[in-house]
């Protein structure tokens, strides 16, 4: 048994070959043109774990990496074929892909076949390395297989972000949605607006637990990524064939920006000069004023963002925009009248459409949370459907591309069990099996509409995750189940073989152990993973399928 996660399309073991293929000091690396980056990764990661030099060279002891037009035609650019039985082209191991990305995903499978110790940073002992003699043919179901990480509520230092990129790559996930700005912190350096990080990246204290909790952490919290940090993160992701999609949230979730630059807020309604970076959770009433100055300010922000992120998509948020200040503002009401808009919903749509045109003119595409459907959606915009399936269904039926990430199914900040020992329990119970049975494409969609589902992503909001260990606990092991949903061609949810997935997870837990992941054990949280006495917001019952 290969115990691969996510499950590949097909695995064949040939009866005529030895059961395993041995690797050793004579094992070389034969990287054909276009696979040089995969070769660097193999030498650095697998070479470090095994102690094998993987010197350059072809021949019967080689690991051969190459692009294949046949694989590209049959399985697409991210498809791969991995042969470890020594029977193909005079190589011990052949990894061929429809593109360099396909070769890379094949290399990830090769690493899994080597066993959990192949995930360590150095060899544990002198030993022989071998892999089962198999042929694996594989390809992803979805082109967008993502994880959104909120670094605004609790900042994750750069080293932690790089680690998560490695964890995504190990699970064949290829989109990292980087939630960089929110009410509680602005995390990206913008050189023309330095106070965004000088002021907006730090809050004086932090609510400990859910917003109903009486507890506070009185230590200032914050941090940001310099532009060189961002370049490093993007380059690191690129070598792992991961696209980093930045999110700059407008027009709501903007209190940190307004605290840094008060003129961005609704100054005729409140004294914006008195605002600080938000220290509690929930939806802030402080939203951007729809002025020309605000538009020019964020165009400047986005100009620097586009220089840093090559992603086709740029996420502009658009969610949970409280409209009370707009309703109370004489200036905003005059703006609505001037623009001949019906109401505040149409004003938000106008705001989103402006940036859709601005991004389109620069060869990029806008994506936002499903609230951007309210008041009319810009023609080229794509939707992250988070409030359930309905926003994604409406968008897909109207011809818009969609990423399915419904809160009720794949928000990994939601609790993993109903027990009282779950730390700071939030939301519905979403077990490993629940995530494994998540289906991104609603059956009600016609084939034409379903073609607009780019893929799916899991979202991680970090209000109650103070450090990387807490993030690990919420994300794993459920991200492994999500990765299989995103990658593998699974049957209908009720027909999925969760028993087999659990069996394969036994081996996968050992890989996570070797990677130092502080996952939730199958039997429940360890004593140091609990947070007794800290209030959460658990929701009873099964989540609605909306």
| Residue 26 predicted with pLDDT over 80 | yes
Cis omega (within 30 of 0) on the bond before 477? yes
- Contact present, 183 and 153 (Cβ < 8 Å): no
Q: Mean pLDDT lowest for which of 88-102, 319-333, 373-387?
A: 373-387
Angle at which helices 478-487 and 468-475 pack, to 10 degrees?
50
Residue 237 CA to residue 78 CA, distance in Å, equals: 16
Give mean pLDDT, residues 450-474. 98
- Strand 185-186 relative to strand 181-182, pairing: antiparallel
Q: Which helix (H) or strand (E) holds 149?
A: strand 144-150
Residue 455 CA to residue 482 CA, distance in Å, equals: 12
Burial class (CB in 10 A: 0-12, 13-18, 19+), 466: middle
pLDDT attached to residue 279: 98
Tens-place pLDDT, residues 312-321: 999 999 999 9
pLDDT attached to residue 89: 80
Give mean pLDDT, residues 472-491. 98
Exposure letters 327-342 (e unless 16+ CB within 10 A, then b) = eebeebeebbeeeebe
Phi first, then psi, for residue 485 (nearest 5°) are -60, -40
Quick one: tokens of 273?
């000069």
pLDDT attached to residue 90: 84
* Beta bridge mates, 28: 55, 62
| Residue 2 predicted with pLDDT over 90 | no
Tens-place pLDDT, residues 320-373: 999 999 999 999 999 999 999 999 999 999 999 999 999 999 999 999 999 999
Give the end-to-end CA distance of the chain in Å, rounded to a whole number: 38
Residue 39 CA to residue 65 CA, distance in Å, equals: 8
Give mean pLDDT, residues 473-493. 98
| Residue 1 predicted with pLDDT over 70 | no
pLDDT attached to residue 374: 84
Tens-place pLDDT, residues 205-230: 999 999 999 999 999 999 999 999 99
| Residue 17 predicted with pLDDT over 90 | no
pLDDT attached to residue 127: 84
- Looking at every residue in the chain, the average pLDDT score rounds to 96
Q: Which amino acids are annotated catalytic?
A: 182, 253, 320
3-state secondary structure of 250: strand
| Helix intervals (H) in 277-411 | 292-308, 324-328, 330-338, 344-360, 390-397, 407-410
| Residue 525 predicted with pLDDT over 90 | yes
Rg of the chain's alpha carbons, rounded to an integer?
24
- Contact present, 44 and 166 (Cβ < 8 Å): no
| Residue 454 predicted with pLDDT over 60 | yes
- DSSP for 271-308, please give it: -GGG-----S-S--S------HHHHHHHHHHHHHHHHH
| Residue 466 predicted with pLDDT over 60 | yes
Give mean pLDDT, residues 192-198. 98
Please report, for residues 100, 265, 267, 276, 293, the alpha-carbon distance to residue 273 in angstroms, rounded to integers and kept in the order given: 51, 9, 9, 8, 17
| Residue 128 predicted with pLDDT over 90 | no
pLDDT attached to residue 87: 77
Residue 24 CA to residue 4 CA, distance in Å, equals: 23
16 falls in which pLDDT band (50, 70, 90)? low
Quick one: tokens of 257?
């920006």
């Amino acid at each position: 048994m290969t115990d691969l996660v996510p499950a590949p399309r097909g695995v064949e073991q040939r009866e005529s070959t030895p059961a395993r293929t041995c690797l050793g000091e004579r094992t070389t690396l034969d990287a054909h043109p276009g696979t040089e980056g995969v070769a660097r990764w193999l030498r650095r990661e697998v070479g470090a774990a095994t102690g094998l030099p993987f010197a350059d060279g072809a021949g019967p002891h080689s690991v051969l990496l190459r692009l294949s037009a046949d694989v590209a035609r049959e399985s697409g650019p991210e498809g791969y074929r991995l042969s470890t039985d020594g029977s193909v082209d005079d190589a011990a191991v052949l990894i061929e892909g429809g593109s360099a990305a396909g070769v890379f995903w094949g290399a990830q499978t090769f690493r899994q076949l080597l066993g959990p110790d192949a995930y360590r940073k150095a060899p544990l002992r002198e030993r022989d390395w071998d892999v089962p003699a198999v042929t694996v043919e594989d390809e992803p179901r979805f082109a967008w297989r993502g994880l959104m990480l909120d670094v605004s509520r609790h900042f994750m230092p750069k080293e932690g972000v790089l680690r998560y990129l490695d964890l995504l790559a190990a699970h064949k996930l290829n989109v990292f949605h980087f939630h960089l700005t929110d009410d509680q912190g602005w995390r990206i350096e913008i050189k023309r607006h330095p106070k965004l990080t000088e002021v907006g990246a730090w809050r004086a204290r932090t609510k400990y637990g859910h917003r109903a909790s009486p507890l506070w952490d009185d230590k200032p919290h914050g941090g940001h990524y310099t532009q060189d940090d961002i370049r490093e993160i993007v380059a690191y992701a690129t070598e792992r064939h991961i696209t980093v999609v930045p999110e700059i949230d407008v027009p709501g979730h903007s209190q940190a920006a307004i605290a840094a630059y008060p003129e961005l807020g609704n100054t005729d309604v409140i004294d914006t000069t008195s605002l600080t970076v938000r220290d509690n959770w929930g939806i802030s009433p402080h939203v951007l004023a729809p002025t020309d100055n605000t538009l020019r300010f964020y165009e400047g922000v986005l100009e620097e963002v586009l220089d840093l992120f090559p992603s086709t998509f740029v996420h502009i948020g658009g969610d949970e925009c409280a409209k009370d200040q707009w309703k109370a503002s004489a200036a905003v009401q005059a703006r609505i009248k001037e623009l001949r808009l019906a109401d505040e919903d149409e004003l938000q749509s106008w705001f989103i459409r402006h940036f859709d045109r601005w991004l389109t003119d620069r060869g990029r595409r806008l994506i936002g949370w499903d609230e951007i459907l309210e008041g009319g959606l810009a023609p080229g915009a794509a939707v992250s459907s988070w409030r359930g399936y309905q926003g994604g269904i409406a968008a897909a039926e109207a011809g818009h591309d969609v990423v399915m990430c419904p809160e009720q199914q794949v928000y990994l900040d939601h609790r993993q069990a109903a027990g009282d020992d779950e730390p700071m329990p939030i939301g519905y119970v979403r077990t490993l099996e629940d995530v494994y049975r998540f289906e991104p494409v609603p059956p009600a969609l016609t084939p034409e509409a379903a073609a607009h589902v780019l893929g799916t992503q899991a979202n991680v909001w970090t209000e109650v995750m103070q450090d990387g260990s807490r993030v690990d606990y919420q994300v794993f092991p459920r991200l492994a189940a999500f990765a299989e949903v995103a990658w593998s061609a699974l049957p209908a949810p009720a027909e999925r073989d969760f028993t087999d997935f659990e069996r394969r997870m036994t081996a996968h837990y050992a890989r996570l152990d070797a990677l130092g992941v502080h996952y939730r054990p199958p039997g429940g949280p360890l004593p140091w993973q609990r947070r007794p006495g800290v209030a959460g917001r658990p929701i009873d019952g099964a989540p609605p399928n909306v």
